[in-house]
Amino acid sequence: MQTSAALRWNPRGALLPALRYLQQPVRLVRGYERANLRADLIAGVTVGVILLPQAIAFSLLAGLPPAMGLYTAIVGGIAAALWGSSELLHSGPTNTLSLLLLSTLALLATPGSANYIVAAGLLTVMVGVFQLGLGLLRLGFIVNFVSHSVIVGFSTGAAVLIVLRQIDPLLGLDVPRGDVLSGLGGSLLALPETQLMTAALGLGTMALILILRRLNPRLPGALVAIAAATLVVFLLGERAADVAVIGRLPAGLPPPANLPLFNLEMIGRLSTGALAVAAIGLVQTTAVSRAAASQTRQRLDNNQEFIGQGIANIFSGLFSGYATSGSFSVTAVKYRAGAKTRLASLVACVVILAIMSLAGGIGTYMPVGALAGTLIITAFNMIDRAEIRRIFQGAPGDAVIMIVTFLGTVFLELDFAVLSGILLSFVLYLVRTSAPRVQVVVPDEGFQHFTHRPDAPHCPQLGIVEIQGDLYFGAVSHIEESILALAAQYPEQRYLLIRMHHVNQMDFSGVHMMENLVSSYRDRGGAIFLVRVSPQALHLMEATGCLAFIGEASLLDEDKAIDHIFHRILDPAICIYECPVRVFRECQNLPKRFDLLDLNLPVAGANGPLPANGVETLIPPRELWRRLRTLPPAQQPLVIDVREPREFKRSHIAEAQSMPLSTLIHDGAIPVQDRPIVLACRTGRRSRRAAAVLRGRGYQDVAQIEGGMQAWEAAGLLTAVEFETEESDRGAE
């Protein structure tokens, strides 16, 4: 019943997040601090004055009437400020979307025609619906893949573009704009045609802004400088007739647009372009908001920003505007003007509306060169030189991403530049995650943690590795090759402990890789053990049968893993007679008998002395069990357990006698000469050594349990256990 109820759609649970996003204006009003009012009012006036001529210029670039740019700046700016997330972001008409809109609609209608204007409005509404849907579905995480290097490269390139594109209006030149290089070349060739009065006003505005900033950084330098330039043009009168000015502004509120909202044929023709404009608008908005947030360290809500842009475009299209998004240049002006919150954007929109309604004639005195000079100063401030140095000093991949994005922004279309940076970020991410580090670790000196110490000794039987990345299809080949390379480097290590606390995700390719590794170690006569397996990876292993293949006994508790493997899996003979190091805590009190190596006995992996017929005698565990149960006592084999006493006490064959290998080698004499001898140890290594010694002393009927006590226990045969008191154990040690 609980599962069925959990699968039912909960309207309240689905609508509550949407309602929370739509209530953003209420939170803005309730959370506003009056201490920010003065700074926001001043910054808003400055932004409004700067944005007004830009809106006109961008609308003309999009092939639309100047009034549409102003309506976009007012309606889109207000809606984006009320429902957005960033305090510093300012939305409105932008160069990127204006050019993209022109390229999209020019194939459907003649720029400037009635059909073209209607198509622009309908496309804007479609863009808003798409963006609003992404926000309500909480898909804002998709823009998290835009790396910080992309933002820095984009903002730096945008600053360079602003400077280059404002040279002509700053000097009063009329040069056809092509690509960046041809446009710059044309500007240089046209320098003799510079309008001296326009250039003087533009350069004077720049100088005044810099002087005011040095005198008092808190002064609204841009606003004062533009006002001063406007006053100069007004006072000069006819003598400033050659100075380029904004011109008279349209008056009145943005009127509702008559759009064919239910014309499915037209919607279908615009759908592809609407998706492109919506996607590029969101990418640009995210880039601008993140660049601004890097200055204020504000935490952004991408879903809220998507909703803000969606509502802004819907209202902009319905009220005679066109597509809007976050603006780099205006956001930079807003920040430099000292804005604290989104109220500055609301004030800027009101300022534009007030100028249009009450002082439309002021545009006839506002010089374009002064506005160009202000934008150039703003563009230089967009270049974060300290952050650029940090990126160059950091990872080389981030520097490459920044350079590629910068060059693409300057020399290619802005949307393609951002997408190139994002694509390169994805490629770098795939490169990094497809080759996660497989690191050999050993216990630290205090046996508290596992650390990577290349110079530390390694256990000859057990290897320990950490996989520092996810087990997904792009990485499993590298991980498998790395572990198999370690296995080839340490061929005596038949057991492997994999620490998986860095593996957060695992897919079906990871399952296959794990099964291949387990099979490889089993073929070597060993096994693989896992610790710190994430719930997601464990669930996948259970669902695919991988866990059943590996065996649940291979999943160990990290705190008890070494103790379990040391006492129940590893061969103590190697630890005592062959291994010269003490890697684990459990090794510290273990006796080391290297004196036995001087007897030319067989070493690990060697065949050792064989009987005369050249064949070792191995007796299967069940056959030995049968003989011990069915043969008369005089004919029963004598079972000699050559393990250490503590191993013998833990588990042994009931009929066996304990005679450690060291005792047998030095002074151990077998009391019975006329009975077959069967040697037992953990895996067979010590039995082989003991058999070689006994044959050298003349014992011929010597056999070994095939597979040792591990095989005996695996066959389900009974063993005896000796219990001792704690005091006796301590005394024995």
Residue 119 tokens read as 């198509």
Burial group, residue 541, by CB count within 10 angstroms (0-12, 13-18, 19+): buried
Which residue carries 């003989």 as its tokens? 627
The answer for residues whose C-beta is within 8 angstroms of residue 511's C-beta and 6 or more apart is 540, 541, 544, 546
Query: Is the separation of the CB atoms in 396 and 256 below 8 Å?
Result: no
What backbone torsions phi and psi does residue 468 show, to the nearest 5 degrees?
-100, 60
Burial group, residue 625, by CB count within 10 angstroms (0-12, 13-18, 19+): middle
Query: Is the separation of the CB atoms in 713 and 684 below 8 Å?
Result: no
The answer for residues whose C-beta is within 8 angstroms of residue 39's C-beta and 6 or more apart is 338, 339, 340, 344
SS (H, E, C) 530-597: EECCCHHHHHHHHHHCHHHHHCHHHECCCCCHHHHHHHHCCCHHHHHHCCCCCCCHHHCCCCCCHHHH
Closest CA to 293 of 43, 47, 86: 86
Residue 256 tokens read as 């509702």
Q: Tell me how many helices (H) and strands (E) the chain has.
A: 33, 13
Active site residues: 681
At CA 664, angle to CA 661 and CA 668, rounded to 5? Answer: 160
Separation CA 474–CA 451 (nearest Å): 26
Determine the 3-state secondary structure of 446 from DSSP.
coil
Separation CA 215–CA 44 (nearest Å): 22
Query: Is the separation of the CB atoms in 391 and 383 below 8 Å?
Result: no
Separation CA 248–CA 450 (nearest Å): 74
What backbone torsions phi and psi does residue 65 show, to the nearest 5 degrees?
-60, 150
**Residue 726 DSSP label:** H
Helix H segments across 166-301? Answer: 167-171, 180-189, 196-215, 221-236, 264-296
Pairing of strands 437-440, 462-468: antiparallel
**Residue 720 DSSP label:** B
Q: Between the CA of residue 630 and those of 149, 627, 636, 637, 672, what are the distances in Å?
A: 80, 5, 8, 11, 20
CA atoms within 13 A on the CB side of 496: 30
Region of residue 532 (left: phi > 0; alpha: psi -120 to 50; beta: else): left
Residue 549 tokens read as 């293949």
Q: CA end-to-end span of the chain, whole Å?
A: 59
Amino acid letter for position 239: R
Region of residue 557 (left: phi > 0; alpha: psi -120 to 50; beta: else): beta
Helical (H) or strand (E) element with 497? strand 495-499
Query: Is the separation of the CB atoms in 325 and 91 below 8 Å?
Result: yes
